[in-house]
Amino acid sequence: MAADELSSPTRKRGRDEEEDEEVVDAEKRLRGEEAEGAALLGLANYEDVEEDDDAARGGANGQHEEEEDEDEEEDVRRSLERRPRQVELRRDCPYLDTVNRQVLDFDFEKFCSISLSNLNVYACLVCGKYFQGRGLKSHAYTHSLEAGHHVFINLQTEKAYCLPDGYEINDPSLEDIRHVLNPRFTTEQVRNLDRNKQWSRALDGSNYLPGMVGLNNIKETDFVNVTIQSLMRVTPLRNFFLIPENYRHSKSPLVHRFGELTRKIWHARNFKGQVSPHEFLQAVMKASDKRFQIGVQSDPVEFISWLLNTMHSKLKSRKRNRSIIHDCFQGELEVVKEFHRKHIVDKKEDGDEQNGDTGSDVVAETSRVPFLMLGLDLPPPPLFKDAMEKNIIPQVPLFNILKKFDGETVTEVVRPSIARMRYRVIRLPKYLILHMRRFTKNNFFVEKNPTLVNFPVKNLELKDYIPLPKPKGNEKLRSKYDLIANIVHDGKPGEGCYRVFVQRKSEEAWYEMQDLHVTETLPQMVALSEAYMQIYEQHE
């Protein structure tokens, strides 16, 4: 009995010693694996997959959860491992010569080509594809192992990394890529932009003028391209969007995409002499609820009207209802509306209105209406052919159709009610947008008016043709304008295409732009076109 009592504690101590030895062996194995992993990973920072790694480690150590002491040690160790590891910064990356600038295109949406996520996206600088993350299980890490491509750049932070090694690359040779990814302008550069006559050279050896680059026609998006090219000639608007700090308060993707597109068009260090407005078009589709979309031809007049009003609403501050859009384009009209108000002259006692005589009075209402563009009515084309069996294309001076706004000419309207309207300009904008109403819709089809409008390219003097208000105090009457953009429609209504003539201020030369095609032209050729929409700049 005594022997059993003595031997029992001895056996118990033996079992405890064996269990302690097993725990020690397990801890040694775990430390050995960690040391091996640390030797392989070095100083790489794999923050993207830390949660996955933690879960995996938690699963591996699940068998020790019965031991309270080991649980506490595990918690301490996990809290240490969650701290981001130091990223090594190196200048001597051996893979920098594999970077291929010819394949880099940052004009498209920043989405991972595999997961289609826009979070934490990296561009492979060897093949140009986009991948998500750079952790051990990320798509960029996998691509670096499978394809042997090692240099990546974060599209948000613009930091370059070498994978799978994980260190950050600090090399000045990548600065040109960062400038193409996110073009930057100083205030001094913006101020001197219109004085720059220097051409830039693309990677393929072709020359291009900053600000005069072609825009890619994704699919029937020429109506967007001509609008963008026209707005790029409006100096205050362009200068505003070249510096992102001016519209940092706006949360609208449309505003920021327009700013990015403006900076890319005017950037002098592009890799190619054209820009694809893909990201801007996606923002337009979303903001307009697919009213304007890729693959569907639309009217540039409708588009510029929607774009200017939308961007104004996104840019205006709460305190003042002004924005760069209204500062550039907003003028004011005085509108006199005359209409007949019917009333019953005689009414019988039994309330039978049918037997009552009706009369009408002419009522005139005067109001002030702000405008961003003025619509001009063209005279109707002749119905019959001439002796040569050809339709005569009539011509009309711009001053004739501007008489609509002299305050005396009556314009009859049917909608929303029959009325006689008279318009008078009481405040001129810095930039005047004129729209020739060439297209008319009836119940059956859309008809295009081919009438040519004769207009001056320089020195359009409005005060000689429409009455203008007298300036206040010492202010000068600014009524003289120069043409800076002229949009033209070619082809049948509902089909056809749009092109635009724009002026380059540094040389006062004119260029014809149709999507990717940019050619210099004579000012006389501008005046011979079927003008559809024009932008005039006020003389200083």
Q: What torsion do the CA atoms of 214, 215, 219, 221 make, to the nearest 10 degrees? A: -110
Rounded to whole angstroms, how far apart are CA atoms 53 and 40?
15
Domains 89-179 and 183-315 share a fold: no
**And the tokens for 372?**
């961003």
| Average pLDDT of the chain, as a whole number | 80
Query: Does 450 have pLDDT greater than 50?
Result: yes
Domain residue ranges in the chain = 89-179, 183-315
Report the pLDDT averaged over residues 374-393: 75
User: For residue 63, what is the DSSP state?
Assistant: G
**Residue scoring higher pLDDT (16 or 244):** 244
List Cβ neighbours of 337 (8 Å cut-off, separation of 6 or more). Answer: 364, 365, 366, 367, 419, 420, 421
Determine the topology of domain 183-315 in CATH. Cathepsin B; Chain A (3.90.70)
Fold classification of 89-179 (topology level): Herpes Virus-1 (3.30.40)
30 vs 288, residue with greater confidence: 288
How much is the average pLDDT of 145-158? 92
Residue with tokens 């992102």: 244
Those residues whose C-beta lies under 8 Å from the C-beta of residue 23, and which sit 6 or more positions away, are 64, 67, 70
Average pLDDT over residues 335-341: 84
Residue 385: the pLDDT is 64
Long-range pairs for 73-79: beta carbons < 8 A, 24 or more residues apart: 78/54
3-class secondary structure per residue, 16-32: HHHHHHHHHHHHHHHHH
In which band, very low, low, confident or very high, does the pLDDT at 4 lie, cut at 50, 70 and 90?
very low
Model confidence at 283, pLDDT cuts 50, 70, 90, reads very high
Residue with tokens 């504690």: 9
Q: Give the model's pLDDT for residue 301.
A: 92
pLDDT higher for 525 or 6? Answer: 525
Are 100 and 118 in contact, with CB atoms under 8 Å apart?
A: no
Instruction: Write down the pTM of the prediction.
Output: 0.77
DSSP state of 189: H
| Spatial distance between the Cα atoms of 295 and 175, rounded to a whole number of angstroms | 36
- Please give the pLDDT value at position 70: 56
Q: 41-55, 126-140, 318-332, 406-420 — which is least confidently predicted?
A: 41-55
